[in-house]
Amino acid sequence: MAYTAVKICGLTTHEDVVAAVDAGARYIGFNFFHKSPRYVNLKTAAQLAADVPVGVAKVALVVDATDEVLDDLTSQVAIDMIQLHGKETPERVSEVKTRYGLPVIKAIGIAGPEDVAKIDIYARVADQLLIDAKAPKDAKLPGGNGVPFDWRLLADKKYWTVPWMLAGGLTVDNVADAIRLTGAKQVDLASAVESSPGRKDPAKMQAFIKAAQS
């Protein structure tokens, strides 16, 4: 059986964190973007981070966050990685890495061939990449919209110099095909394993991770 690392993002309760870990998630994501239905404040995130066992990475998702915001976050929440999910430049990625001494995941939105070139650029500065579907122009969220992109865009570009995750519209029904087509060794999702926005379904998490690793 192939091993695929799964990141479950947008956890908001103790019960969901425990269920995600029990299901086999290797990364737990906390969303600090205020407009998201999965947003958590620093106090809640600090409590939830304490529930995550050693060996499971705690990831903070932020969107175009200032140093002031990141200073507060990193001083109050025991996170392991920072996920930049906005319009951060390569220079900003490097700044964040240097300032906080934490691994940085940079999310890159893909809609067409012209977007794929960004992957090589950010691979030079980020520790990991999250390759997601580009949000529609009228979308309120930069990610987590539950829509896939054309995975064939990655079919001949499976290997970069840093680890990467596939995201965007993954479900229990399509994740195996997505992995076969792209060669992804890590996948990320939020909405497909929810019973309602911001609340995870233990059975859905179990089923998804089983499908991803089959």
**pLDDT reported for residue 3:** 80
Q: How far apart are CA 50 and CA 60, in angstroms?
A: 14
10-residue stretch averages of pLDDT, the chain, 214 residues long: 86 97 98 95 98 97 98 98 97 98 96 88 96 71 62 73 92 94 93 93 97 91
Do the Cβ atoms of 108 and 119 come closer than 8 Å?
Answer: yes
* 91 exposure class (CB count in 10 Å sphere: 0-12, 13-18, 19+): exposed
Q: E strands, 18-127, where?
A: 27-31, 57-62, 81-84, 104-110
**pLDDT reported for residue 146:** 58
Do the Cβ atoms of 90 and 117 come closer than 8 Å?
Answer: no
Dihedral sign (CA 40, 193, 59, 161): negative
Q: Which domain holds residue 121?
A: 5-212
Count: domains in the chain: 1
Tell me the residue length of the chain.
214
Do the Cβ atoms of 181 and 152 come closer than 8 Å?
Answer: yes
User: By three-state DSSP, how is residue 183 classified?
Assistant: coil
Do the Cβ atoms of 193 and 6 come closer than 8 Å?
Answer: no
The pair of structure tokens assigned to 149 is 């992109």
**pLDDT reported for residue 2:** 57
**pLDDT reported for residue 1:** 47
Torsion of CA 17, 18, 24, 28, to 10 degrees: 20
**Residues annotated as part of the active site:** 9, 132
**pLDDT reported for residue 133:** 87
pTM score, two decimals? Answer: 0.92
CATH of the domain at 130: 3.20.20.70
